[in-house]
Structure 1
Amino acid sequence: MSQIESTEVADRAMALAQEIAAQHAGARAFRPSDALVDVGLTSLDLVNLMLAIEAEFDILIPPACLSPQNFHSVEAISRMVEAVRAGTH
């Protein structure tokens, strides 16, 4: 996957996470490396983010990838999406 595609994955994943975070009162700006639970996303938000990621990238996240580590931050989500799209996960 090229650097441009990698950046696009990160940007699209960040937009989805920001959209979900914005539904909470007091939502604040965050970086791709920030822990999503630390910026206010709940476990239900993370499930909704997972579903949004699957729809956005037209992928099915394998059960083996459904771990807290893969949904820790937007950076982690982006790496997981790239691996799933490349068939290496």
Structure 2
Amino acid sequence: MKNADFQNRILALVEAILEQNSIISKAYPDSRLVDIGFTSMDMVSLMLGVEAEFNFTIPQSEITPENFQSVETLELMIVNQFQSGRVP
């Protein structure tokens, strides 16, 4: 799977949450999620959405503010999980 696929899938999840909250904001790979209107509950929704979308459980050690800063940081964490073999 190409990194662009990961990024597009994460962006779609972010945009769905924004739309659900009636937030009119464009999400870019480097947009800070809090800056475009994400709350802590949105972060939980995003985490669960990522787990469902990519069919794996995010390790507790990876659920950090740094990994959930932007689509890019989230993508990097997911790619690392797949490359390290932690994801079947």
Contact 2:11 2:27 in 1 (8 A): no
Q: 1:73 aligns with which of 66, 70, 76?
A: 70
- Can you give the 5+ residue segments of structure 2 that lack an aligned partner in the other structure? none
The change in CA–CA distance for 1:67 and 1:88 in structure 2 (over 3 A counts) is farther
- Count of paired positions: 86
Name the counterpart of 2:44. 47
Name the counterpart of 1:16. 13
Contact 1:13 1:78 in 2 (8 A): yes
Give the letter aligned to residue 65 of structure 2: P
Instruction: Tell me, in whole angstroms, the C-alpha distance in 2 between the residues paired with 1:42 and 1:78.
Output: 19
Name the counterpart of 2:4. 7
- Can you give the 5+ residue segments of structure 1 that lack an aligned partner in the other structure? none
Give the letter aligned to residue 59 of structure 1: F
Give the letter aligned to residue 67 of structure 1: T
When normalised by structure 1's length, the TM-score is 0.89
Give the letter aligned to residue 56 of structure 1: E
Q: 1:28 aligns with which of 25, 28, 52?
A: 25
SS in 1 for 2:15: helix
Contact 1:65 1:80 in 2 (8 A): yes
Q: Percent identity?
A: 35
